[in-house]
C-alpha cells in the first residue's frame, strides 16, 4: 500500500524557471542561472470513487463511521515537507515542541494550518484531504509536554479548488470530522461516554467512536494512539438531528458567552452557518429576554417571552444531565464548549453540548458545579442562575435530575457500558508509545476506568441527597 501511496503522491512534474540577470555597467558581467524546482501533485487520478464512499450525494453512513462496539483504524499520509510545515506552524503558534517554558505563550486565536494529505480506511483512499491540528488549551498543553498525540481536524474537500478531482469529496457522507486525542483522560472513554449519555437523554449531540490512528509523514506509519472520532456539529449534526439546517449556528467563546447583562459582542458568537449575514438579532433577543425587568415581578410573562427565543426545556434537560455527570469545562465555569442553533422549525435557539473529554469527574480549578448551583454566581452565569431561581424551571430541572439517575446515567447501565468499552479499547490504549500517550504506565488506564465506576455510584448518591431536600 505504501508503495502505491508514494507513487500516487510523489509522481512529480519539475517546472524549471530560469532567470538570468546581468550588470551591463560592470567590466565582468555576472550571469546567475538559478533553477527552482516546484513539486506539482495536481496530476493524479482518483482511482477509487463510489457513490457510497466518496460522493456528496450519499447520506451519512453512521453505522459504518460511528460503530459503537468496535475500534477501527484510520491511516493519515502526509508528505515530509507538508508535515514539517505543520510542525513549523505549531512552533510559531505555541513555541518549541516539548518546552515547558511554553506556559508563558498564550493560547493562539489562530487555527493551525491545513495541508493536503491522504486518508486510508479499510484499504480505501480519500485524496488530498485537508488535515490540520485542532484544539485550544489541550493542543498547547500536549505540544508543550512533547506529546505528539495531537487532535486532528479532517475536511475532505478543503482543497477541492486546488484539486478538481476531489470536488465535493465526502467520507461516507461526512465532509468534516474531528479526531480527538482524549487529552487529560487516561480512561480514553469520557468523550464517547458523555456523548452517549446526552444522546440517551434525547439531546442533539455529536456521534462518537473509537479509532486507532496511524500517521505516515515520510518514514512509514507511526502509531499515534487511541482517538475518539467526533461528528462535527456544523456538518451532519444539524443536517440529521434537525429537520431544517438553514438556521444560524453559533459556537460561542468569550466573555459574553456567559450571557452576563450588557456583555454582548458579535465576536464572541462565532457563526458557523450564514456567516455572510451580519444578523445576530436572535442572540440579542435572548440577552434582552433573559435580563428583562419582569423576571421577578411577573415570572410567568418572563417565561413566556423567554420561551419564544430559547428552547428552555432542552436547556434544562442538558443542564440536569451535564450537572449530574459533572462537566466543568463548559457553561457555568467556562465560556465555551457549546453550540446554539436557531432551529427554523421553532424559531428558538437550541443548546448543543460539545467537547466532553473533561466530563465525568470533579474537574480542575473550582471543579464542576453543585447540583443546587450554590457555588454559581447567578449574575455571572444567568442562564443557570435566573432559570434555577424560577420555581417552575427549578421543578422541571429537578425532574430531569431524577430522570438522569434513573435512566440516562443509571448505575448498572453505566457500569456495564464502562466494562464493555474499556475491554474494547484496552489492548490499543495500553500499547500506546512514549511520546504519543498521556499514560505514565499501562496501569494508569485501569485506574482511570475504576474511577469512572466509582464516580457513577457517587453521583447517584449526591443526586438522591439533593432531591430529598
Element (H or E) spanning 302, and its range? Answer: helix 299-306
Distance (Å, rounded) from C-alpha 354 to C-alpha 256? Answer: 18
- 433, part of any domain: no
Q: Are residues 265 and 386 in the same domain?
A: yes
The C-alpha cell at 412 is 448498572
Low-confidence stretches of the chain (pLDDT beneath 70): 1-40, 101-108
168 found inside a domain: yes
Looking up cell 454582548 gives 264
Under a CB-based contact definition with an 8 Å cutoff, are residues 195 and 58 in contact?
no
**435 domain residue, yes or no:** no
d(CA 359, CA 381): 19
β-pairing, 338-343 vs 249-252, is antiparallel
Tell me the C-alpha distance between 100 and 146, whole Å. Answer: 9
Residues 36 and 70 in one domain: no
Q: In terms of domains, do 233 and 318 share one? A: no
Distance CA 382, CA 387 (A): 7
The H-or-E segment that residue 251 falls in is: strand 249-252
Which domain, by its residues, includes 147? 51-181+205-240
What is the pTM (predicted TM-score) of this model?
0.90
Same domain membership, residue 367 and residue 224: no
CA 89 to chain centroid, in Å, comes to 20
Question: What pLDDT, on a 0 to 100 scale, did the predictor assign at position 60?
Answer: 98
Give, in order, the Cα–Cα distances in Å from 251 to each of 42, 143, 237, 278, 326.
35, 24, 14, 15, 21
Residue 467 lies in a domain: no
Asked whether residue 213 falls in the same domain as residue 105, the answer is: yes
> In 3-state terms, what secondary structure has residue 200?
helix
Pick the closest to residue 340 from 270, 418, 416, 266 (CA basis): 270
In this structure, are 253 and 395 located in the same domain? yes
The per-residue pLDDT for 40 is: 66
- C-alpha 37/C-alpha 30 separation (Å) is 23
Contact 75, 214 (CB under 8 A): yes
Cell numbers that stand for 206 in this block: 455529536
Q: Choose the final residue of a domain: 408, 428, 459.
A: 408
Q: Is 440 exposed, middle or buried (0-12, 13-18, 19+ CB in 10 A)?
A: exposed
152 lies in the same domain as 291: no
Residue finishing a domain among 385, 408, 431: 408
Neighbouring C-beta atoms of residue 80, cutoff 10 Å: 11
Q: How many domains does the chain have?
A: 3
Could you tell me which residues come within 8 angstroms of residue 166 by beta carbon, excluding any fewer than 6 positions away? 46, 127, 128, 156, 157, 159, 160
* Same domain as 220, residue 73: yes
Q: What is the 3-state secondary structure (H, E, C) of 394-422?
A: HHHHHHHHHHHHHHHCCHHHHHHHHHHHH
Q: Do residues 269 and 353 share a domain?
A: yes
168 and 231 in a single domain? The answer is: yes
Q: What is the pLDDT of residues 90-102, one digit of tens each?
A: 999 999 999 976 6
Same domain for 341 and 288?
Answer: yes
Nearest C-alpha neighbor of 379 from the set 266, 258, 292, 296: 258
* Continuous H helices in 326-432: 382-389, 391-403, 411-429
Query: Of the candidates 408, 427, 443, which is a domain's last residue?
Result: 408
Looking at the structure, tell me whether residues 6 and 119 fall in a common domain.
no
447 lies in some domain: no
The model's pLDDT over 160-200, given as tens digits with 9 standing for 90+, comes to 999 999 999 999 999 999 999 999 999 999 999 999 999 99
Is residue 111 a part of any domain in this protein?
yes
Residue of 382, 210, 196 lying closest to 286 (CA atoms): 382
**Grid cell of 10 as nine digits:** 510523489
Instruction: Say which residue the cell 476531489 belongs to.
Output: 166
What residue spans of 101-255 are helical by DSSP H? 137-144, 190-200, 238-240
Instruction: Using alpha carbons, select from 70, 382, 83 the residue that is nearest to residue 256.
Output: 382
Residue 323 covered by a domain? yes
Whether 442 is covered by a domain: the verdict is no
The per-residue pLDDT for range 402-435, each reduced to its tens digit, is: 999 999 999 999 999 999 999 999 999 999 999 9
Amino acid at each position: 500500500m505504501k508503495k502505491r501511496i508514494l507513487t500516487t503522491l510523489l509522481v512529480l512534474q519539475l517546472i524549471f524557471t530560469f532567470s538570468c540577470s546581468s550588470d551591463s555597467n560592470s567590466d565582468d558581467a555576472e550571469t546567475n542561472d538559478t533553477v527552482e524546482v516546484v513539486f506539482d501533485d495536481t496530476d493524479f487520478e482518483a482511482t477509487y470513487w463510489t457513490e457510497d464512499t466518496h460522493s456528496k450525494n450519499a447520506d451519512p453512513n453512521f453505522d459504518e463511521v460511528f460503530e459503537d462496539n468496535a475500534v477501527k483504524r484510520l491511516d493519515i499520509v502526509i508528505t515530509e515537507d507538508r508535515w514539517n510545515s505543520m510542525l513549523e506552524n505549531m512552533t510559531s503558534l505555541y513555541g518549541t515542541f516539548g518546552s515547558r517554558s511554553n506556559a508563558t505563550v498564550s493560547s493562539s486565536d489562530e487555527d493551525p494550518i491545513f495541508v493536503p494529505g491522504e486518508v486510508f480506511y479499510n484499504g480505501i483512499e480519500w485524496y488530498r484531504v485537508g488535515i490540520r491540528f485542532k484544539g485550544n488549551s489541550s493542543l498547547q498543553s500536549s505540544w508543550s509536554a512533547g506529546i505528539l498525540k495531537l487532535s486532528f481536524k479532517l475536511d475532505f474537500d478543503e482543497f477541492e479548488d486546488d484539486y478538481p478531482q476531489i470536488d465535493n469529496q465526502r467520507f461516507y457522507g461526512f465532509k468534516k470530522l474531528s479526531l480527538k486525542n482524549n487529552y487529560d483522560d487516561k480512561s480514553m472513554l469520557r468523550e464517547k461516554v458523555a456523548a452517549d449519555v446526552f444522546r440517551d437523554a434525547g439531546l442533539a449531540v455529536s456521534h462518537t467512536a473509537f479509532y486507532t490512528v496511524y500517521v505516515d509523514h515520510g518514514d512509514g506509519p507511526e502509531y499515534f494512539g487511541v482517538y475518539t472520532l467526533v461528528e462535527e456539529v456544523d456538518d451532519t449534526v444539524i443536517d440529521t438531528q434537525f429537520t431544517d439546517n438553514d438556521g444560524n449556528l453559533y459556537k460561542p467563546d468569550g466573555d459574553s458567552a456567559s450571557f452576563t447583562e450588557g456583555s454582548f459582542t458579535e465576536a464572541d458568537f462565532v457563526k458557523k452557518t450564514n456567516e455572510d449575514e451580519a444578523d445576530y438579532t436572535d442572540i440579542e433577543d435572548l440577552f434582552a429576554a433573559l435580563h428583562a425587568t419582569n423576571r421577578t415581578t411577573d415570572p410567568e410573562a418572563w417565561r413566556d417571552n423567554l420561551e419564544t427565543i430559547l428552547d428552555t426545556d432542552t436547556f434544562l434537560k442538558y443542564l440536569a444531565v451535564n450537572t449530574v455527570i459533572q462537566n466543568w469545562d463548559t457553561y457555568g465555569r467556562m465560556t465555551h464548549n457549546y453550540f446554539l442553533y436557531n432551529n427554523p422549525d421553532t424559531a428558538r435557539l437550541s443548546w448543543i453540548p460539545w467537547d466532553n473529554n473533561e466530563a465525568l469527574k470533579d474537574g480542575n480549578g473550582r471543579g464542576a458545579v453543585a447540583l443546587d448551583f450554590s457555588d454559581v454566581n447567578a449574575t455571572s452565569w444567568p442562564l443557570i442562575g435566573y432559570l434555577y431561581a424560577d420555581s417552575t424551571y427549578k421543578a422541571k430541572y429537578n425532574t430531569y435530575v431524577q430522570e438522569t439517575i434513573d435512566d440516562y446515567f443509571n448505575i448498572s447501565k453505566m457500569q456495564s457500558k464502562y466494562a464493555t468499552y474499556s475491554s474494547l479499547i484496552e489492548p490499543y490504549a495500553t500499547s500506546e508509545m512514549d511520546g504519543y500517550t498521556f499514560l505514565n504506565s499501562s496501569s494508569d488506564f485501569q485506574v482511570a476506568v475504576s474511577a469512572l465506576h466509582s464516580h457513577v455510584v457517587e453521583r447517584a448518591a449526591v443526586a438522591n441527597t439533593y432531591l430529598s431536600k
